Amino acid sequence: MKTKIQACIIDDEQDGRDYISLLLENEFPEIENAFQASSVEEAYIFLSKNSPEILFLDIQLKDGTAFDLLSKFKEIDAQIIFITAFEHFAIQAIKNGAADYLLKPIKKIDFIIAVNKALDNIKKNKSSTPATLHKNKISLPTLQGFKLTDINDIIRCEADSSYTTFHLTDKTKIIVSKTLHEFEEYLYDHNFFRIHHKHLINLSHLKEYIKGKGGQVIMADQSVLDVSVRKKNDFLSKIENLE
């Protein structure tokens, strides 16, 4: 299943957020406006639990700057498009790994160019992912080479910053220096579901669901994992439709 690219808009002005949202809707239907925020605090809470692929980030926010927000994370796995009314911020934006930057008032053509650049970067990153599928197996890169692993033997995948840990049925673990997001789309069609920003689980190894605000799952390895509130309804719907 092809999922939409997730975007997050962080701008202290409602008009600015609305304009970017409208441009996305009209020009890039493949991108979903997953969240909007007006402050460093709101954005921090969201980004601590979610991994959007594109981040529209205004430099001047209500309670600080974009750079204050970025300093709270070791790494943000997103294409960042900075937004500013002051051109002198451009150099600092570029130093912070910007895919591009947009000057206010945002021109439609500049917006389209910036977003296309971000989409190109996302495609390049995905095509360079060394994990590949071979029927019911996945090749996982290691320091020594790679391990060809049976997908059915994967109980769950756990995010740890820019690393992903694969937990297998034989109780072994494989640590890969790639983000969980890079494996999510590969494994979706193999009965995997991302229940939380940290957890991608193999539904074939799901043993129990415990009700709650988001709820929890118990897996075949006896691990107890949280289900995020945002993912709960989609998760329960997925479970109901299991063949």
For residue 51, pLDDT over 90 is answered with no
Q: Where in the chain is the domain with CATH 2.40.50.1020?
A: 132-240
pLDDT above 90 as % of the chain: 54
Strand-pairing partners, residue 193, are: 201
For residue 233, pLDDT over 60 is answered with yes
Which CATH architecture is the domain 132-240 placed in? Beta Barrel (2.40)
- pLDDT-derived band of residue 186, with 50, 70 and 90 as boundaries? confident
pLDDT value of residue 39: 95
Quote the CA–CA distance of 154 and 138 in Å, as a whole number: 10
Residue 4 DSSP label: P
pLDDT of 142-185, one tens digit each?
A: 766 778 899 999 999 998 877 889 999 999 999 888 888 888 87
Q: Where are the alpha helices (DSSP H) in the chain?
A: 14-27, 40-47, 66-70, 90-95, 108-127, 181-188, 229-240
pLDDT value of residue 130: 47
5-127: CATH, from 1.10.260.40, 3.40.50.2300, 3.40.50.2000, 3.30.70.100: 3.40.50.2300
> Between the CA atoms of 83, 85, 90 and 96, what dihedral angle is there, to the nearest 10 degrees?
-40
DSSP characters over 127-193: HT---EEETTEEEEE-SSSEEEEEGGGEEEEEEETTEEEEEETTS-EEEESS-THHHHHHHHTTTEE
Most confident segment among 63-67, 95-99, 157-161? 63-67
Q: Where in the chain is the domain with CATH 3.40.50.2300?
A: 5-127
pLDDT value of residue 1: 43
b/e map of 16-51 (b: 16 or more CB within 10 Å)?
Answer: bbebbbebbeeebeebbbbbbbbebebbbebbeebb
For residue 38, pLDDT over 60 is answered with yes
pLDDT value of residue 22: 96
CA distances for 142 relative to 138, 151, 163, 182, angstroms: 13, 17, 11, 16
Arithmetic mean of pLDDT, 65-89: 84
Q: What is the pTM of this model?
A: 0.55
pLDDT value of residue 24: 95
Determine if residue 143 is left, alpha or beta; phi over 0 gives left, psi from -120 to 50 gives alpha, anything else beta. alpha
94 or 242, higher pLDDT? 242
- What is the identity of the amino acid at 138? I
Strand-pairing partners, residue 82, are: 57, 101
User: Parallel, antiparallel, or unpaired for β 132-134 and 98-103?
Assistant: unpaired
For residue 128, pLDDT over 70 is answered with no
Read off the tokens for 149: 């692993």
